[in-house]
């Protein structure tokens, strides 16, 4: 048994639906509970906004938000439409991610690649939908899986997933709660990734500047000429420019290979 539904895009709609259904098994009981969980998450993300910390905290928050879940994880889209694990709360999540990577199919792949909310009562029983994965997943035991799309605006980032070793563990309230978490987490993940790229870019710029200074002093050449030497070494060694610069800054010598 599996189900699909369109991912909600408005927090108020999700919170309203939660109140309308009343307390139910598998998720925080009221809109106030959901709001408090999300406020706590926002505070923890501000405490450590690094990309990996945001991913790890998002996975942990998913388990806290949906008590019927025993495990959670985040997977991210990579180049060439590949999906890879980025955070997990247990080895079981990593094992399932590995099976999905080996077979190229599964609920997390559907959520990440197609934007589907994928709700599976027992993964091993999904032979018609994911034959290769279902056959291998039997070794993991009976697993309920819930995956929602993770995105920031129109940019697809990956998927947020919950696992339970109890069949049919996730109800409508769990779907709503996880989708709401994904709305908030998607923006946080994107912001953290952008910040990390900026930090890396600044660090690379600094080390390239150091390397240029070394070459300018050593050979009495201009900044452009020094950059040209670094670029040539980068091409000849098939290494990134900042890696060549870092080696020069550390050893005093341009790498030959």
Domain ranges of the chain: 2-193, 197-251
CATH tag, 2-193: 3.30.450.40
Token pair for 234: 């980068």
As a whole-number percent, the residues of the chain with pLDDT over 90 amount to 52
Q: What is the pTM of this model?
A: 0.70
Which residues fall within 8 angstroms of residue 230, CB to CB, at 6 or more apart? 208, 211, 212, 215, 241, 244, 245, 248, 254
Q: Model confidence over 152-201: pLDDT tens digits?
A: 988 899 999 999 999 999 999 999 999 999 988 888 888 887 887 788 88
Could you please state the CATH topology (level 3) that the domain comprising 197-251 is classified under: Arc Repressor Mutant, subunit A (1.10.10)
The H or E element containing residue 86 is: strand 83-88
């Amino acid at each position: 048994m599996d189900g699909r539904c369109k991912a909600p895009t408005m927090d108020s709609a999700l919170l309203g639906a939660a109140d309308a259904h009343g307390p139910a098994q598998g998720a925080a009981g009221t809109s106030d509970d959901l709001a408090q969980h999300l406020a706590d998450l926002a505070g923890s993300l501000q405490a450590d906004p690094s990309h990996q910390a945001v991913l790890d905290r998002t996975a942990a928050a998913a388990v806290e938000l949906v008590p019927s879940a025993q495990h959670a994880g985040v997977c991210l889209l990579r180049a060439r439409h590949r999906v890879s694990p980025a955070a997990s709360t247990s080895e079981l999540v990593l094992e399932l991610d590995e099976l999905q990577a080996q077979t190229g199919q599964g609920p997390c792949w559907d959520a990440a690649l197609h934007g589907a909310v994928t709700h599976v009562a027992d993964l091993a029983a999904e032979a018609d939908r994911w034959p290769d994965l279902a056959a291998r997943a039997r070794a993991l035991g009976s697993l309920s899986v819930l995956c929602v799309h993770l995105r920031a605006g129109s940019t697809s980032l990956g998927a947020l997933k919950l696992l339970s070793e109890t069949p049919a563990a996730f109800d409508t309230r769990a779907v709503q709660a996880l989708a709401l978490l994904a709305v908030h987490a998607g923006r946080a993940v994107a912001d953290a990734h952008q910040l990390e790229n900026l930090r890396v870019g600044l660090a690379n710029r600094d080390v390239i500047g150091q390397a240029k200074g070394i070459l300018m002093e050593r050979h009495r050449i201009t900044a452009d000429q020094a950059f040209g030497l670094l670029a040539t070494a980068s091409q000849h060694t098939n290494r990134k420019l900042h890696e060549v610069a870092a080696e020069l800054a550390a050893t005093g010598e341009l790498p030959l290979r």
